[in-house]
Amino acid sequence: MMPVAPIDSPQYFSLREKSGLLAGLAGGDRPQGLWALGDPGLLQNDVLRVAVVGARRATPYGISVAERLAIELAAKGVVVVSGLAYGIDAAAHRAAVRAGGRTLAVLGTGIDVVYPASHRRLQLVEIPRQGLVVSEFSPGTPALAHHFPQRNRLVAALAAAVVVVEGDIDSGALITARWGADLGREVLAVPGSIHSAMSRGPNKLIRDGAIPLTQIEDIFEEVPALRRLAGPRVLGKNPPAAFETPAAARLLEKLSFDPVSFDVLLEMTGLTVEELNGALLEMEVRGFVQSEPGGYRRR
């Protein structure tokens, strides 16, 4: 992987005088400094930051949750931190950027090396414009396997809380969660289907004591630094008034992010065949529902 020229020259920030940043990291775990591209103000101690991490091979469920989390956090002025990998990381960064919020990407390469290559614009243009890209590795450092677990400790250290959206048992997201717990950060996990390999990691974290994240307000209620930001907006809920028919609002309450068959939806909602067909059509047209082999799922 060859280095590429960023839009601006990165700056190097020594951490000798930033004792509050990366609190908890000490000795060999604490880098001497960080290369940065973008707004260094995001490294200030009083900036609220939350890490949203997960699997590279993310499911549509995981992507949708990561995007919604990032949008809600950005709307509250919270910086979304992640590792700029495929899947959940990239979804969280992009959603924060689209929402006009701030996001902080921590690289496992030199700051002038784009990995994966498809993230070139995201890493060098979109995030630096309204956020920050950082790396502890010298410019030109290639993508080496052992650098990414090393990167994950910085993702955890830079955040007040770590949210694991998806990942199998061996996912790097669980490394980030363990660092978060060791550093005294709040660790939250998004519960998922027992049939999905990508939910094994979060479900295990919950079993081991992580806070289950079932709605966006869980972050603001469980993380002391964010409690003053708590508000009424709830993850995954839409007011019935947003729909043309009461049947559509009732259907949304019953739908999950896993496909559900038409017959099961009939039984769950108590709607007639005509009502359910009309509600599904309305919600598909408006982008709330997606049809898949095996049934319908929430988008």
Q: Is pLDDT larger for residue 235 or for residue 137?
A: 137
Mean pLDDT, to the nearest integer, of 132-161? Answer: 96
Cα–chain center distance at 86: 11
Q: Residue 243: which pLDDT band, with cuts at 50, 70 and 90?
A: low
- Closest to 66 (Cα-Cα) out of 83, 50, 89: 89
Of 88 and 293, more confident: 88
Of 57-61, 71-75, 90-94, 255-259, the range with the lowest mean pLDDT is 255-259
CATH number given to 11-229 = 3.40.50.450
The reported pLDDT for the residue numbered 25 is: 92
**pLDDT over 50 (residue 132):** yes
Reference 37, options 75, 8, 65, 1; nearest CA is 8
**Per DSSP, which regions of 97-140 are E strands?**
103-106, 132-135
DSSP conformation letters of 196-210: -GGGHHHHHHHHTTP
Average pLDDT of span 37-47: 93
Q: Please state whether beta strands 79-82 and 295-298 pair in parallel, antiparallel, or not at all (unpaired).
A: unpaired
Query: Above 90 in pLDDT, residue 141?
Result: yes
Higher pLDDT among residues 178 and 230, named by residue: 178
Percentage of residues in the chain having pLDDT higher than 90: 61
The mean pLDDT of 71-87, rounded to a whole number, is 95
Angle at 86 between CA 172 and CA 197, to 5 degrees: 55
> Does the pLDDT of residue 273 top 70, yes or no?
yes
Q: What pLDDT is attached to residue 114? A: 96
pLDDT higher than 80, residue 210: yes
pLDDT score recorded for residue 37: 96
- Report the distance separating Cα 176 and Cα 28, nearest Å: 17
Query: Is 232 a residue whose pLDDT tops 80?
Result: no
pLDDT at 278: 84
pLDDT for 247: 83
pLDDT 10s digits, 22-40: 989 988 899 999 999 999 9
pLDDT band at residue 252 using 50, 70 and 90 as cut-offs: confident
As to burial, measured by CB atoms within 10 angstroms (0-12 exposed, 13-18 middle, 19+ buried), residue 143 is middle
- Work out the average pLDDT over 224-250: 65
| pTM reported for the whole predicted model | 0.78
Give pLDDT, residue 231. 66
Amino acid at site 136: E
pLDDT-derived band at 255 (thresholds 50, 70, 90) equals: confident
Q: What is the mean pLDDT of residues 226-230?
A: 87
For the chain, what are the domain ranges?
11-229, 240-298
- Output the six-digit token pair for 267: 């039984």
Please compute the mean of the pLDDT values over residues 272-285 and round it to a whole number.
Answer: 83
Task: Look at 18 and 241; give whichever has higher pLDDT.
Answer: 18
Indicate the average pLDDT of the chain. Answer: 88
Question: What is the residue-wise DSSP string for 80-105?
Answer: EEE---TTHHHHHHHHHHHTT--EEE
Residue 144 is predicted with a pLDDT of 96
pLDDT at 251 over 70: yes
CATH of 240-298, one of 1.10.1740.10, 3.10.20.30, 3.30.70.1290, 1.10.10.10: 1.10.10.10
